[in-house]
Amino acid sequence: MTDTTDRLEDSFGVVRRATLADVARDLKISPSTVSRALDPNRSTMVNKATREKIIESAERLGYRPDIQARSLMTGRTQTIVVIAADLGNRWLTPILHGVASRVSVEGIVPIIAETNDDSRVLDDLIDHMLSRRVDAMIVVGARRGDGPSIERAARMVPMVVAARPLQDVSVPVVTHDDRRGGEMIGQHFADLGHRVVAQLLGPGAVLNFPLRNEGFTSAIESAGLRQLPAIDEALRPTYDEGARLMHRLLDVSSDVPTAVFAHNDPMAIGAMSVIRERGLRIPEDISIAGYNDMPLTSLINPGLTTVRYPGWEVGHAAAEVALRLFAGEEAVESVSLNPVLKPRGSTAPLP
Amino acid sequence: MTDTTDRLEDSFGVVRRATLADVARDLKISPSTVSRALDPNRSTMVNKATREKIIESAERLGYRPDIQARSLMTGRTQTIVVIAADLGNRWLTPILHGVASRVSVEGIVPIIAETNDDSRVLDDLIDHMLSRRVDAMIVVGARRGDGPSIERAARMVPMVVAARPLQDVSVPVVTHDDRRGGEMIGQHFADLGHRVVAQLLGPGAVLNFPLRNEGFTSAIESAGLRQLPAIDEALRPTYDEGARLMHRLLDVSSDVPTAVFAHNDPMAIGAMSVIRERGLRIPEDISIAGYNDMPLTSLINPGLTTVRYPGWEVGHAAAEVALRLFAGEEAVESVSLNPVLKPRGSTAPLP
DNA sequence: CAGGGTCTTGCAAGCGCTTGCAGTAAGACG
DNA sequence: CGTCTTACTGCAAGCGCTTGCAAGACCCTG
C-alpha cells in the first residue's frame, strides 16, 4: 500500500488528522459542501465537478470523518454493544459472529463487554454504555433479577435480551426453546429404555437451566421414568462444577442412575471424567448427555450426546431485533429458535 | 433498584438524557461549574457546598456525561481496540482478559474486532477505528505483510502488535518466545530418546509458526535427530488441517516418525484422531506434542504435551505498552515472555 | 487602607461535524 | 425582458462538553 497522502504535521512532526475544514481550506470552499459531498445520501446536492475535486482532496489529505463528532449531531454512534457474561465461554463465539454478520452490513461495529456473571457489573456496564451513546445493547449475559436494570435502560436506548432468557421483561427476548431441548433429552433417555435417571443442574439464576430442568422433568414424568432428586446445583456451569456434582451424585444416592443429563457440555465432560475415575464405563454403565453442542463435544471419546444451540442464528436474530428497535419500529417481537438433538456415542440403550 | 430520578421527557414521552446544561439550569448556575464539580480532577476548584448541590442534582436528573462529546474536547475516547484474527479462537480469551484487566482500571473499555485472518479486512478495520478516534489499537491478528498498514496507522494513533509477532516493524511487539518454545519441544523429544521426528506446520503467514519451526529444527539438529521433510503447511491452524497434514505425513513418508510436533493444540488433536484411526497408539507408537496449552488439552486422553502460551500476560503487557504510548512515552520497548513446557501423557520415551 | 493573594464562578470559544435557511447564478418560461 | 424554477453553495447555529481567561468576592499583609 503506497502512501502518497499529504500529511498535516505540527511543529513536532506529529501527524494531525485531516478534518472537514482542512479539505475545505484546501479547496477554498465551505465545510458544509465538503460534508455534503462526502455523504452518500446528500452527495447529489453538490455539483459533480466539485464533488470530484472534494473526493480527490479528501483522499490526498487522508481525511477520515470523525464518527464521534458526527454522532453529536446525528445522535447515532454506529455502535452496538453486546454484553456477555464471560468471554471465555465458547458458545458465545457463534452468537457474536451472528451479531456481527448482521450489523456489519450497516457499517456498525459491535463492542463486546463482559460482566463476569455479576449483576452489579452489568449495571455499571449499562451505565457506561449509556454514556457512550451506543445505538443499542444486546444482553447475552442476563441473570434472574436483571430485568429492572435492563428495562430502565430500555427507556433510553433499544435493548434486547438474547441467548439467556429472562421472564416478565418488557424488552424483546431472542433465544431458543430450552424447555423443548430438555424434553428432547428426557425423551431420548426414555426411548433408550432407561428407568432411573438424574440431572446435574446448572445455576438457577441463569434461566436457561431451570427451563431445561422443567422440560426434562416433564418428559421423564410423562414417560414414567424415575428421576433421582437433585442434590445441589452448580455455582457456575463449568467443567469443575460438573465434576463436583457428579461426585456428589455418586456419593449420596443409594441408587446409581443409568442416564445423566448435565445441563451443558462442559459440565457433562467434567462428569464424564468423574464417572471414569470411579471405574464406570460410558455408555455401558452410565449414559450421559450435555447441552449446547460445542465444538469439543465431537472431539472427545465417546462423542457427547447433546442438543445443538443455534448460537449464530440467535445472534443474528438479536441484531435484527435491535436494529428494528433502533429504527423506531414499535411492536418488535421476541424470537424463539428450535433446538436439535445430536445423539452420539455417550448415550446408549440400557443393555 | 428503585428509580426516583426526575426524567426529562419530550411531548411524546420519550426520555431525553440529561445534559450538563440541564443540571446547570436546575441549579441556576453555569455549565462550566457543573463540569468542574463532576470531574474528580477539577472538583477541588469548586466550593464544597455547590459541589454537593451539583452532585445531588445530577443524581436526581440521572445525568450521565456524554463520552463522545467529551472526547471532542479532550481528544481521548477512553477506548482501546483489540483487533483479533478470529473470535472463535479460544487462546484469544486470556489475551482479551489480560487487556481488559489492565485498561479497565483506567476507565477504558476495550472494543473487540475481528479480521477473519484477512489482511484487507484488517486495513478496513484500522481505517474505521481511526475514524472512531480510539485511543490505541492492539493488533493480535497480524499476518506477514501487515507491517506497512500498521506502521501507517501508528503515525496517527498508538499501535501495538501482540501475540502474533511481526518482523521489521517499527511498533512495539508484545509476544512470547516462539522460537524458544519450539526448541523446548525439540529438546523434549530428544530427551525421550526419539530418533525420527516430524512437524505439522502451521500457516507460514502467521509468524509464530515459522519461529516454532526454526526453534524445533535447531534443537533437533543439535541433538542429532532426523527430521522428516515437511510435506505441506496448514492453510489454517485448525483441527481439520491438523488431520489433513497427519494423513499426508503417514501416506507420503516411507518412514514413520516416532514423535510429531503439531504447531498448535487443535492441529495436534486433529492429528491424534487420525493416528488412532490408522490403528496406531499414542504415545506407544507415536508421541505427539502441541502448542498453546488450551483448556481442552487437559481434558483429552491422554493429556496433550504442549507449551503454555501466557495469553493473559501477553494481553496485560500489550495494554500496558499501549497505555504508555498513549501517554506519550517515547522509547517503549517490545516485550517477549517465556514459554513453559507442559509434558503430559501424549509423549513418552521410545520403548 | 492600599496592594496583593486565594477561592469561586462565569464567559466565551471551540472540538469536528450536520443542517435549516438564505443567497446566488443560471437556465426556463411566458 | 421580467419572473420562476432549479441547482448549487455558504452562513451560522448548535450537538454536549472542556478550558483559558478574567472578574468578583473575600481575606491577608505591611
> Which fold would CATH assign to domain B77-176+311-337?
Rossmann fold (3.40.50)
Predicted pLDDT of residue A14: 55
> What are the DSSP calls for A277-289, one per residue?
HTT--TTTT-EEE
Q: Which three three-digit cell numbers place residue A42? A: 446528500
What pLDDT is stored for residue B6 in this prediction? 58
For the cut 90, the answer to whether the pLDDT of residue A295 exceeds it is no
- Tell me what pLDDT residue B111 has: 86
CB of B76 within 8 Å of any CB in chain A? no
Fold of A76-176+311-338: Rossmann fold (3.40.50)
Percent of chain A residues past pLDDT 70, beyond the cut? 95
User: Rg of chain B over CA atoms, in angstroms?
Assistant: 27
Residue B2 has pLDDT above 70, yes or no: no
* Average pLDDT value over all residues in chain A: 91
Task: Tell me which residue has cell 475514524.
Answer: B131
Would the Cβ of A20 be found within 7 angstroms of any atom in strand D? Answer: no
Range in A124-138, B68-82, B290-304 the model is least confident about:
B290-304
Q: For residue A222, report the phi and psi dihedrals to the nearest 5 degrees.
A: -70, -20
pLDDT at A15: 66
Please give the pLDDT value at position B211. 97
Arithmetic mean of pLDDT, A145-161 = 94
The answer to whether residue B1 scores a pLDDT higher than 50 is no
Whether A8-65 shares its CATH topology with A76-176+311-338 is answered no
DSSP letter at A105?
A: G
Measuring CA to CA, which residue among A240, A142, A246, A135 is closest to residue A198? A246
Structure confidence by residue, pLDDT tens digits, B85-137: 988 777 888 999 999 999 988 888 888 888 988 999 999 999 999 998 899 99
Superfamily of domain A8-65: lambda repressor-like DNA-binding domains (1.10.260.40)
Q: Which nucleotides of C are covered by protein (CB under 7 A)?
A: 7-12, 14-20
Residues 6 or more apart from A70 whose CB is under 8 A from it? none
User: What average pLDDT is seen over chain B?
Assistant: 91
Q: Which residue has the cell 457428579?
A: A246
Is a pLDDT exceeding 80 seen at residue B296?
A: no
Which tens digit of pLDDT belongs to each residue from B260-295?
999 999 999 999 999 999 999 999 999 999 999 987
Q: How far apart are CA A342 and CA B237, in angstroms?
A: 26
For residues B234 and B128, give the distance between their C-alpha atoms in angstroms, rounded to a whole number. 31
Residue B9, pLDDT above cutoff 70: no
Helix (H, G, I), strand (E, B) or coil at A335: strand
Summarised one tens digit per residue, pLDDT across range B157-173 is 999 999 999 988 999 99
Residue A73 parent element (H or E): helix A67-74
**What is the spatial distance between Cα A29 and Cα A21, in angstroms, rounded to a whole number?**
9
Is the pLDDT at A254 greater than 90? The verdict is no
Greater model confidence, B259 or A351: B259
Please give the single-letter amino acid code of residue A190. A
E strand map for chain B: 8-9, 15-16, 79-84, 109-114, 136-139, 159-162, 173-176, 196-200, 226-227, 259-262, 287-289, 306-308, 335-337, 340-342
Strand D nucleotides within a 7 Å radius of protein CB atoms: 7-12, 14-20
Q: pLDDT tens for residues A177-225?
A: 999 999 999 999 999 999 999 999 999 999 999 999 999 999 999 999 9
Superfamily of domain B178-308 in CATH is Response regulator (3.40.50.2300)
Chain B residues 54-73, Cβ below 7 A from strand C: 69, 72-73
The pLDDT, as a whole number, for residue B177 is: 97
pLDDT score recorded for residue B3 = 45
From A326's Cα to the closest Cα of chain B, the distance in A is 13
CB B22 within 8 A of CB B61: yes
- Number of residues in chain B: 351
Decide if pLDDT at A11 tops 50.
no
Instruction: Give the pLDDT mean for A109-128.
Output: 90
pLDDT in the model for residue A270: 93
Give the per-residue pLDDT at B12.
45
Q: Please identify residues in chain B, positions 50-109, with a C-beta within 7 angstroms of any atom of strand D.
A: 63-66, 69-70, 72-74
pLDDT of residue B15: 65
For chain B, give every domain's residue range: 8-65, 77-176+311-337, 178-308
Cβ neighbors of B197 (< 8 A, separation 6 or more) are: B186, B189, B220, B225, B226, B227, B228, B257, B258, B259, B260, B261
Query: How many other β-carbons are positioned within 10 Å of the β-carbon of residue B262?
Result: 30
Q: pLDDT at residue A343 above 80?
A: yes
Phi, psi of B242 (to 5 degrees): -60, -40
Find the mean pLDDT for residues A92-120: 90
Paired with B236 in beta bridges are none
For domain A178-309, give its CATH number from 3.40.50.620, 3.40.50.720, 3.40.50.2300, 1.10.3720.10: 3.40.50.2300
Q: Which of A209-213, A234-238, B149-153, B250-254 has the lowest mean pLDDT?
A: B250-254
Residue with smallest Cα–C1' gap to D10: A30
